[in-house]
Amino acid sequence: MSPRRRLAGRALAAALTLCLLSVGGAVIASAQVPVVSRAADGRLDAVSPVPGTILRYTLDGSEPTHDAGAWLAPVEVPPGYVLKVRAFKPGGSPVGDVAVIETPLPAGAVRMPSTLVPVTQNRDWRTYDWVDRHTAAAALMRERRPEIVMLGDSITHFFGGDPPDGRRTGVAEWDRLFAGRRVVNLGYGWDRTENVLWRLTHGEFEGVSPDVVVVMIGTNNVGLDTPDDIAAGVWAICRTIRERSPSTRLLLLAVFPRGERPNPSRDRVAEINQRIAAFDGRDGITYLDIAATFLGPDGTIAKDVMGDFLHPTAKGYAMWAAAMKPTLDRLLAPGRAAARD
């Protein structure tokens, strides 16, 4: 065979090996693109083109990185959102190209807030594995059938209890507060409202009926979403819990203050709290604002209360427990469910 024929043959082979994936109008050229398919219910599923890799995805149009959540179940892409999914090696290196699918927003329609769109995450991978924690938490909820659930982000995660992984700052106070009770910690570092919604609808609240769920979430949405949208996410979390367990009472905590001194982030937190305070008395919700507990007379947060001016120290967790305990005890009192609801 002549050199020219060999070169032509190789070019043809390369062209045949290279595949063109067209999803939602986007065309991506690659031999290693996740295969995306749509189920009858409209949700999407994806298969990695490379054995042994993990699919990670985003819904905001950004490129998937090791910080993006793992693809664990079929994904719903609401109108106006762009799904991007890519394969990654277990160590975090990307493999191949990105599959893209866009769901157009009809003319005149308003896009659903991202705070309401369930999605996984992996932002705190240096500290703990989100997927491993979810798997352990879902199993523990089924096994322990807790009386009390603490639900939130890293501020709750670091308190203590089970499942134990990552940082645990307030263990001694946790053990004192919940002595003799069946309790599960569903706090996850870096979670936002949308991540909590995913967890609640993917195994962490199946067939369980806690007496009380303590909810404190939203600080990781500050700066990304409007106070109205964050409050909508908090309400959706409360409604999801009540739909799955109508007898459960909800102790909804105000989002804790952040920053050593008064600052714009605190102002946004105050706006969120103003909105979620309106949920008090609705659908089994008791709202409790203990923010002032952590503040000095001049509005500052002491370093021995919150070491980074966001996450409580052991002393800060003791202050949280003391401020919350009277309301929690009242909600746990026999007959409280019937009286409240």
Question: With contact defined as beta carbons under 8 Å apart, do 300 and 260 qualify?
Answer: yes
Question: With contact defined as beta carbons under 8 Å apart, do 72 and 86 qualify?
Answer: no
Catalytic residue among 48, 124, 229, 311: 311
- With CA atoms as reference, report the closest residue to 320 among 311, 309, 307, 331: 311
* Structure tokens belonging to residue 328: 């929690």
User: Would you call 67 a catalytic residue per the annotation?
Assistant: no
Question: What is the rounded end-to-end Cα distance, in angstroms, of the chain?
Answer: 84
To which H or E segment does residue 265 belong?
helix 264-276
User: Would you call 114 a catalytic residue per the annotation?
Assistant: no
DSSP string, 111-129: PPPGGGS---B-TTTTT--
Catalytic residue among 48, 97, 114, 154: 154
Question: With contact defined as beta carbons under 8 Å apart, do 229 and 115 qualify?
Answer: yes
Catalytic residue among 132, 175, 308, 341: 308
User: Would you call 62 a catalytic residue per the annotation?
Assistant: no
- Identity of the amino acid at 326: P
- With CA atoms as reference, report the closest residue to 305 among 168, 295, 297: 295
DSSP percent split of the chain into helix, strand, coil, nearest 5: 35, 20, 45
Question: With contact defined as beta carbons under 8 Å apart, do 237 and 168 qualify?
Answer: no
How far is residue 269 from each of residues 41, 157, 176, 264, measured CA to CA in Å? 37, 20, 29, 9
Question: With contact defined as beta carbons under 8 Å apart, do 209 and 245 qualify?
Answer: yes
Q: What is the dihedral sign for C-alpha 267, 271, 276, 278?
A: positive
The backbone region for 203, taken as left when phi is positive above 0, alpha when psi lies in -120 to 50, beta otherwise, is left
> Which residues are identified as catalytic?
154, 308, 311
